[in-house]
């Protein structure tokens, strides 16, 4: 009986954890990361420190005007949706 309970608990964990892992993958219709990074560089970023798909958008950190900034970019257009200094 304990084996069944353990198996059910494990299956439940997989059900909860799997969608969270998939959520952090770029969609098929997203602008490729390299193109978004190139666009960011054209908008004044001198380096991109981190960059990843997160919660349905591109997210990262980079240097702009001598300041470390956090940014969120639209997944389809690559446009900056928000940016703020990273203290």
Q: Flag whether pLDDT at 63 surpasses 60.
A: yes
Q: Say which residue, 20 or 48, is predicted with more confidence.
A: 48
Give residue 24's pLDDT: 84
Domains of the chain plus CATH, in order, are 2-85 (3.10.450)
pTM summary value:
0.70
Query: If you average pLDDT over residues 3-25, what whole number do you get?
Result: 55
Q: How deeply is 82 buried, as exposed, middle or buried, from its count of CB atoms within 10 A (0-12, 13-18, 19+)?
A: exposed
pLDDT in tens, 28-42: 999 999 999 999 999
Give residue 15's pLDDT: 45
Q: Say which residue, 32 or 24, is predicted with more confidence.
A: 32
């Amino acid at each position: 009986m304990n084996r069944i309970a353990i198996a059910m608990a494990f299956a439940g964990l997989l059900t909860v954890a799997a969608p969270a892992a998939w959520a952090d993958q770029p969609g098929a219709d997203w602008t490729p990361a390299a193109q978004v990074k190139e666009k960011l560089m054209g908008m004044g970023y001198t380096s991109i420190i981190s960059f990843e798909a997160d919660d349905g958008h591109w997210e990262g950190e980079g240097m702009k005007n001598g300041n470390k900034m956090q940014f969120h970019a639209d997944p389809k257009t690559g446009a900056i949706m928000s940016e703020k200094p990273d203290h």
